[in-house]
Amino acid sequence: MKVLVCPHQLGMGGSQLNAIEMAVAVRRHGHEPTVYAPPGVLTEALEATDVPWIPAPDARIRSGKWAARLGQVIRSERFDLVHAYEWRPCLQASFAGGWRTPVLMSVMAMEVPSFLPTHLPLVVGTPALTDRMKNEGRTAYLLEPPVDMHRHQTRDAAGARQTWGIGDAEIVVSVVSMLTTDLEKLQGILSAISVVDRLAHTAPLRMLIAGDGEGLETVRMRADDVNRRHGRMVIQPVGFQMDPTSVYESADIVLGMGSSAIKGLAHGKALIVQGEGGYWQLVDEFSAEGFITNGWFGSEGAGVRDLLIALTDLIEDPWNRRRLGALGRELVEQRYSLSRASAELSGIYVDTVMRPQRIAHATRSLARSAVASARYYATMQFGSVVEKEEWARRGANA
């Protein structure tokens, strides 16, 4: 089956990494994927996979060029299926795909924007969201964030730590994240810096931060201030890493959300999940089930206090760190392996192509989607900050 895979961009991020890894993996099941996306920092990684790449216009620009080019590609290459990732490609592909080419939507965010067409099948990443979408009358599939278990494992922690100049006695807290205000990632990382700063007065702590974004300069400035006061490297921002494996390997403790959190577990590290509104939660045998059901995220917590308690406990108990790391690795092996996910996605592809098209239903769905999305774009251009924030909370980040 010829599948056109459409991530929203080739910038660094969990969704687009997922799209590339799954495109590679489904070839083992007989599919022929091609990626359609604008160039970005992941272009080189994609080209190294031998999965064909068709450069696309930027889907974030409302010029119609992305959708027009998509229609041309579908017709000229005769794709059997379009698999779009995240809401912008999903929305545009639903109109550009036409009636003859099935479209599968994947939304790996914690919410699905209400303006997405209801007649198209939808892939989401948590059991709770899958159930909610089905209750709303959508055809929904569960496909949890996949992890390449061969790539994401700790083979040489000592060598990784040496790469970053970390001493044997240091306790390393690692973060791999975009340094943006999206989902309050940056705010949480700045809070974590303050906690590590406080604890570093009595413990040999180092915080290793891999990531880029508009907050990188703020993080660097904060790191310089902390390191100057301590007279040693406590906060170490290392910027964008095409392959952040050594950052995970170096860690004793990982802070993260979403796919970054799961990869931390795959490396056998104790994990504290970051969310928004001051949310921090240690992953153990009691909290893991909630994350499996609802996603590796959370909202509304006690902020610095919760993180301080969780970090202090892990710092003082190395045996528990190792125990929780082993627990996490086993959980990921059982539930989130890339090989399992690729087999499931292959089946979803077949279901989507075999699914009958109901013209009347599709027409009503697309009409509703056109009106609702126009309302969203009007809000983004003319609406208040509160109205824009409400759309963002419903999954439609600008």
Mapped onto helix, strand or coil, the DSSP state of residue 352 is helix
CATH architecture of the domain with residue range 157-335: 3-Layer(aba) Sandwich (3.40)
| Rounded Cα distance, 392 and 14, in Å | 18
Q: How confident is the model at residue 142 (pLDDT cuts 50, 70, 90)?
A: very high
Confidence (pLDDT) at 361: 86
Q: Which residue do the tokens 């205000």 mark?
A: 181
Q: Closest Cα to residue 147, out of 322, 335, 278, 381? A: 335
Q: What is the pLDDT of residues 85-103, one digit of tens each?
A: 999 999 999 988 766 789 9
Q: Per-residue pLDDT for 388 more than 70?
A: no
The domain ranges of the chain are 2-146+337-393, 157-335
Three-state SS string over 281-316 comes to EECCCCCHHHHHHHCCCCECCCCHHHHHHHHHHHHH
Q: How confident is the model at residue 111 (pLDDT cuts 50, 70, 90)?
A: confident
| Rounded Cα distance, 178 and 213, in Å | 6
Average pLDDT over residues 45-50: 89
Q: How confident is the model at residue 266 (pLDDT cuts 50, 70, 90)?
A: very high
Q: How confident is the model at residue 285 (pLDDT cuts 50, 70, 90)?
A: very high
Q: Closest Cα to residue 31, out of 93, 91, 95, 82? A: 82
Pairing of strands 171-176, 32-37: unpaired
Domains 2-146+337-393 and 157-335 share a fold: yes
Per the model's pLDDT, the better-predicted residue between 308 and 60 turns out to be 308
Question: What's the whole-model pTM score?
Answer: 0.86
Burial pattern 150-181, b for ≥16 Cβ within 10 A else e, equals eebbbeebeebbeebebeeebbbbbbbbbbbe
Are 189 and 219 contacting, i.e. CB atoms less than 8 angstroms apart?
yes
Confidence (pLDDT) at 395: 65
Say which CATH topology domain 2-146+337-393 has: Rossmann fold (3.40.50)
* Alpha-carbon separation of residue 319 from 165, 312, 397 (angstroms): 24, 14, 41
Q: What is the pLDDT of residues 357-377, one digit of tens each?
A: 788 888 899 999 889 888 888
Pairing of strands 122-124, 53-55: unpaired
Percent of the chain at pLDDT > 90 equals: 71
Q: Per-residue pLDDT for 172 more than 60?
A: yes
Q: Mean pLDDT across the chain, nearest whole number?
A: 91
Q: Closest Cα to residue 267, out of 151, 181, 375? A: 151
Are 161 and 250 contacting, i.e. CB atoms less than 8 angstroms apart?
yes
Average pLDDT over residues 205-221: 96
Are 256 and 283 contacting, i.e. CB atoms less than 8 angstroms apart?
no
| Rounded Cα distance, 205 and 270, in Å | 15
Token pair for 280: 């921090």
